[in-house]
Amino acid sequence: MKPISTPNAPAAIGPYSQAIDLGDTIFTSGIIPVVPATGEIAGDTVEEQTEQALTNLKHLLEDAGSSIEHVVKTTVFIKDMNDFGKINEIYAKYFTGTLPARSCVEVARLPKDVKLEIEAIAIKKN
pLDDT at 37: 94
What phi and psi, each to the nearest 5 degrees, are found at residue 87? -65, -40
**27 CB neighbour count, 10 Å cutoff:** 17
Contacts of 94 by beta carbon, 8 Å cutoff, 6+ apart: 54, 57, 58, 68
Active site residues: 104
Q: For residue range 76-117, what is the model confidence (pLDDT) as tens digits?
A: 999 999 999 999 999 999 999 999 999 999 999 999 999 999
* CB-side neighbour CA atoms (13 Å) of 109: 3
pLDDT at 116: 98
Owning domain of residue 86: 2-123
User: Do 117 and 81 form a contact (C-beta atoms < 8 A)?
Assistant: no
pTM of the entire structure? 0.95
Q: How many domains does the chain have?
A: 1
The CATH number linked to 11 is: 3.30.1330.40
Q: For residue range 28-71, what is the model confidence (pLDDT) as tens digits?
A: 999 999 999 999 999 999 999 999 999 999 999 999 999 999 99
Gap between the Cα atoms of 108 and 50, Å rounded:
18
